[in-house]
Amino acid sequence: MKYHVLLAFLVSSYLMSAQFKSVAIATWDGDAHKEVVLVDVRTPEEFDQGHLCDALNIDFKAEDFKDKIQELSKTTPIYLYCRTGKRSKNAASLLEELGFENITNLEGGYVAYTEEGGKPCPEN
């Protein structure tokens, strides 16, 4: 009986915990995602070489990443991407720990986006 209670507790804890989603970056359509915050977690140098339109650049490797990311609303949907998907996945895990409620990791990152024909945001 004790094991059934423990199992039920573990399952309910898992289901109630915030889980970030991962979707292929090819599904990104900026026009269809106007009510979200898009965050590029690459370095400023990488960002300057090309990025998705309307992306904020908050460098995951920077010492002040936690401070800057916590300036965003924890209830607004956050979409994250990086070069190949590793940093954005790690950033998504951190945002989850920080209490963000709606996190999506764009798998494959900017490399996959450009390989699939995506164009960088034109400079203004």
Q: Model confidence over 83-116: pLDDT tens digits?
A: 999 999 999 999 999 999 999 999 999 999 999 9
- Of the given ranges (20-29, 75-84, 102-111), which has the lowest mean pLDDT? 20-29
The chain-wide mean pLDDT, for the chain, equals 88
Q: Which residues are catalytic?
A: 82
- Determine what percent of the chain is predicted with pLDDT higher than 90: 74
What pLDDT does residue 19 have?
A: 85
Q: Please give the average per-residue pLDDT across 61-88, as a whole number.
A: 97
Instruction: Give the distance, in angstroms, between the CA of residue 103 and the centroid of all CA atoms in the same chain.
Output: 6
What pLDDT does residue 6 have?
A: 43
Q: Where residue 33 falls among pLDDT bands split at 50, 70, 90?
A: confident
More confident residue, 35 or 92: 92
Q: Please give the average per-residue pLDDT across 39-55, as a whole number.
A: 97
